[in-house]
Structure 1
Amino acid sequence: MPDKQLFRKKFRTCKGREFQVTRCRIDGGSPGPTLTLIAGQHGAEHAGPVMLAQFIDEIASEDFCGTLNICPCANPLALEIDYEFYPEREDLAKLGDYYYARDRHGYCVFGMGRHQGPNYYNMNRLWQRQGDYGVAGEITDWLWAETMADADVIIDFHCLQAKKPLIYSASSRANAVARYFGIQAIFMVNPDPDDLDGGNLCYQNTANGNLAVFCVEFSAQHMLKEEEFPIARQGIRNVMKATGMMAGDVLLEQPVYLLDLKTMVELSTRAIGHIDFRFDEYDPVSEGDVVFEIRCLETLELLDRVTSPLTGVMGRRTYKSVSQPGEDVCWVTEANVVSATGTALEKLQ
């Protein structure tokens, strides 16, 4: 039976609030790779924490080799207030004026939105960053030293606002592992980040230079979509099988695409009306296919019909139901199939 241990460390904010972070280490029956799983860096992203807590209970009775390091709730205070970060030096009373709406997704009541300059309260900009960055920086330092510095693979669970889950990757090493997870789309992030984004966990590496890190994004913030949990738990097991931590084959139910964002084409309309999509996210599309139509809200007449300019896959779709002139409705892009269906995938060497 695997050996499960829980470790807790206490932290204190600059205003004296004490709390603790819990991590779990599960050693399998024999030596093998080290896989680290982390969630809850951002407080509006609750799916990963709940799913990983369930996974700990399940995997503790299963046979595997190697070591699992799991931290479901990396940022408890941010999770408690359902906010992206915990602004420990700010006036928390401002949160009383905050409400979330999809049409103002980037709004920050503290004036620290993603496009408003550096925000070092954001835990996922602090990995291996030198200096004093408050309690979030203390947590990342502790978790890196205890769970990541000797890891072979790290999977970082987040949530965004999308139709389907997706994966972000920053390296070919990560792609080679992420293709086993089973989520349809792997997006390559900017390979040359600025200083702030360079603190994202996806860009980190260990002393030996062989770490593979990728980010799994569930499809909804500020809520739980429990129907996505089995996909994630199976994805973790797929990675364990691929890396030799667990016996069994990896068989996928849907192909996995590596999206070439250099070929991305954004599609918009000049019409105001309801959007009628003809393809789901990451469905294959051919040049000339009708991707969406726009119908008038008053007369129901067809106002616009937009076709794909290329053969590839459907990308992200707007979360809005009604189009506005000039706004992007969706995009299409070329893509490479990196994992096919129908046969067991070859294991990593």
Structure 2
Amino acid sequence: MAGNKSIASHHEVRRLPVSFDRDGSEISVAVHTIKGSRPGPTLSVFGPQHGDEWFTVRALYEVVRDLIGEDLAGTVNIVPVSNPPALRDGTRVTQVSADEPDMNRAWGGSNTWIANQLTSVLTSEVVAGSDVLVDLHLGPWGSAFGAVCHGNDFADDALNARSRQLCHAFGYPVVGALNVTGAFPGPRSLAGFAGATLGIPTVLVEIGGGGFSEEVTTAWISTIVRGVRNLAIAMGILDGEPVLPQRVLTYTTTRRVNPRIGGLLIPARSGRQLGDEVRAGELLGTVVCPQTYVERERLTSPCDGWLLYTAVSYLLRPGDWAFGVIDADGAHWSTHE
């Protein structure tokens, strides 16, 4: 996998044992560790906690390929699949019978559901020894997201500032400043737990999704690879100059435009891009009955702003991902920090 790069770093893949399922199969998590020849900080990157966000696995394959053989000052850990049971089942949640089925709402707990055990092992073996975390969340099949976010409501102002700095260093032109402990995704998400409990900043990456053209997919993957490299440069793990956008849209509020009624989603306009400007009341898509083609719901933008989530035509259930809009109220463009 190293290509033509000089071998200046050591690549190791290890499996972290977690538990055994009821059929006797082992539950474990693989971790790629790329250790440099010189001492330095540790960056840890986490793939899907939600099993339907499988596109992340492909993106991290390219991240590993990009970093192997580089002359690193420090260490990069990459967890391609944070939640193997959910990926196996293709589901967002880990264990439907559990009180805490969503892994990204189960960090820091003491229960023994599968999600709790996964977070416990990853905390002790990866998170606790890290200086910076990257948590990747991409759209499941048929939908795509386009933002990089950071926590903005930690009690430690220095942690808020560091989180914001790292988020901008990733180099994506859309940045969300979120109340991760007080609102979404909450204090027991990876970002909320790592920041509030361990004082470790997290960059939340939500770029791309499955079911789109190869050209678009390749561009999203390249953006993620470049973003991880930018972070490594900002941390002093890699030498070089980061690739940054000329201006950045920073937002605090988003509005989901997901259906209340299931059916076939028909986007109102083909070729709509993430980040496109939209107006309040603009039609984004229509949900029709897949049998009669009777229109059941019209999905319109609730405000002026920019497209944060988008979707292709696919069969969806109530609440599934369709569209999302960055509210222009409180959002602003600026030159890159």
Q: Within 2, Cα distance between the matches of 1:276 and 1:188? A: 29
User: Unaligned 5+ residue runs, structure 1?
Assistant: 91-117, 267-272, 297-305, 322-327
Are 1:35 and 1:152, in contact at CA under 8 Å, matched by a contact in 2?
yes
Q: Which residue of 2 aligns with 1:2?
A: 9
Are 2:136 and 2:204, in contact at CA under 8 Å, matched by a contact in 1?
yes
Q: Secondary structure at the match of 2:252?
A: strand
Could you tell me how far 1:207 is from its partner in structure 2? 9.1
Task: Provide the identity percentage.
Answer: 22
Q: Within 1, Cα distance between the matches of 2:284 and 2:121? A: 51
Q: How does 1:112-191 map to 2 (within 5 A)?
A: 119-129=99-109, 131-160=110-139, 162-171=143-152, 172=160, 173-191=162-180
Q: Which residue of 2 aligns with 1:256?
A: 248
Q: Within 1, Cα distance between the matches of 2:33 and 2:307? A: 37
Q: Secondary structure at the match of 1:179?
A: helix
Are 1:24 and 1:71, in contact at CA under 8 Å, matched by a contact in 2?
yes
Aligned residues between the structures:
290
Q: Which runs of 4+ in 1 moved over 6 A?
A: 293-296, 306-310
Q: Which residue of 2 aligns with 1:78?
A: 86
2:46 counterpart of 1:43? no
For 1:70, the aligned partner's letter is I
1:22 pairs, out of 12, 27, 30, with 30
For 2:112, the aligned partner's letter is Y
Q: Which residue of 2 aligns with 1:34?
A: 42
Are 2:139 and 2:145, in contact at CA under 8 Å, matched by a contact in 1?
no
Q: Which residue of 2 aligns with 1:102?
A: none
Q: Which has the larger radius of gyration?
A: 1
Q: How does 1:295-306 map to 2 (within 5 A)?
A: none
Could you tell me how far 1:226 is from its partner in structure 2? 4.0
Are 1:152 and 1:210, in contact at CA under 8 Å, matched by a contact in 2?
no
Are 2:47 and 2:80, in contact at CA under 8 Å, matched by a contact in 1?
yes
Q: How does 1:1-349 map to 2 (within 5 A)?
A: 1-10=8-17, 11-14=19-22, 16-87=24-95, 90=97, 119-129=99-109, 131-160=110-139, 162-171=143-152, 172=160, 173-193=162-182, 197-205=186-194, 210-221=199-210, 225-253=217-245, 255-261=247-253, 275=268, 280-283=273-276, 292=282, 313-316=305-308, 319=311, 331=325, 332-334=327-329, 335-337=331-333, 339-340=335-336
User: Unaligned 5+ residue runs, structure 2?
Assistant: 1-7, 153-159, 258-265, 287-299, 314-321
Are 2:41 and 2:130, in contact at CA under 8 Å, matched by a contact in 1?
yes
For 1:78, the aligned partner's letter is A
* TM-score scaled by length of structure 2: 0.71
Could you tell me how far 1:58 is from its partner in structure 2? 2.9
Residue-by-residue CA offset, 1:158-200 (whole Å, 9 max, x unaligned): 1126554212321333221011212222223334437993210
Q: Within 2, Cα distance between the matches of 1:39 and 1:329? A: 23
Could you tell me how far 1:150 is from its partner in structure 2? 2.4
CA RMSD of aligned residues (A): 4.0
Q: Secondary structure at the match of 2:221?
A: helix
* TM-score scaled by length of structure 1: 0.69
Could you tell me how far 1:86 is from its partner in structure 2? 2.6
